Amino acid sequence: MSAVTACAFAPKLASPRFSNGSSGSRGGRRGASTVSLRSVVRVRAADESNAEPERAPGPSTNQMLVFVPPHPLINHWLAIARNVQTPPPIFRSTLGELGRLLIYEAARDWLPTFSAEVQGPVGLAKVEMVDPSQPIAVVPVLRAGLVLLEEANTVLPATNTYHLGFVRDEETLEAKMYLNKLPEKFAEGQRVLISDPMLATGGTIVQAIDECVARGADVKNIRIVCVVTCPPALTILSDKYPGLRVYAAMIDEELNDQGYIVPGLGDAGDRAFGTE
């Protein structure tokens, strides 16, 4: 994983272990999108059955992993998102771009693929393609989670979208669910991608994960994409969900008394949609 810094998150952020050997810190409508398989010939060996191609061993699945991709474009768009002078249309497009980049990283070594042959201009070519028969279940946490997914179809060839809506009580800081468009049951082995720009106290994302798990999703097949997170949310997630993977543009240091990440982004939903 040379392109991504992966931290095996431990409660209280005590001595995080980085998978690349280094250490450090960084202060309802359902739809389906598929690709056409015309002119593609699936190739399987006689004894291959339905097994996916072998992959190099990855990090341990017994701990929650937090990925903070050290990419200059992620840093650039994060800087624009942090700027209080950024107007709502630009802020919204910025979160969409951050979502696209982070989803690209989250899809690394995760998407189901198959080997095939295609007829090229001058001959047959052996290729590997994402299997559209196994779409990713994409779960945006409304409202702001939708914004992170605005460019998702440019990255993921096959998805099904299921919405979850939460509203936060500004006094208790607890999230209450007002919309649930998840399927009654996820298929075995279903890959689930949950998007929420801010993981602050962790209350909303915990409810979202629990709803997915209650419908058959395996935590080890769930990936979280966010823009900014912080230790309180990560500690709760690490304690509760071994094997979970979180992808973030930045880990900030603290929460203020109102439950906002500092320096964070403010209220991402209000900033994206121009509301207060």
Q: How confident is the model at residue 259 (pLDDT cuts 50, 70, 90)?
A: confident
CATH class of 5-27+30-35+61-273: alpha beta
Strand ranges inside 28-69, DSSP E: 32-33, 40-42, 65-68
Q: How confident is the model at residue 6 (pLDDT cuts 50, 70, 90)?
A: low
Decide if pLDDT at 218 tops 80: yes
For residues 119 and 143, the answer to whether their CB atoms sit within 8 Å is no
Domain ranges of the chain: 5-27+30-35+61-273
Give yes or no for residue 257 having a pLDDT over 50: yes
pLDDT at residue 37 in the model: 35
Task: Retrieve residue 259's tokens.
Answer: 């439950």
Nearest to 112 by CA among 90, 141, 85, 135: 135
Please count the residues of the chain. 276
Q: What's the average model confidence in pLDDT over 228-256?
A: 95
Q: How far are the Cα atoms of 1, 10, 40, 49, 72 from residue 13, in angstroms, in the given order?
A: 22, 5, 48, 43, 25
Tell whether the model's pLDDT for residue 169 goes beyond 80. Answer: no
Q: What is the pLDDT of residue 59?
A: 56
Residue 90 scores a pLDDT above 70: yes
> Token pair for residue 68?
């903070």
- 66 pLDDT band, cuts 50/70/90, is very high
Q: How far apart are the first and last CA of the chain?
A: 40
Q: Give the amino acid at 80.
A: I
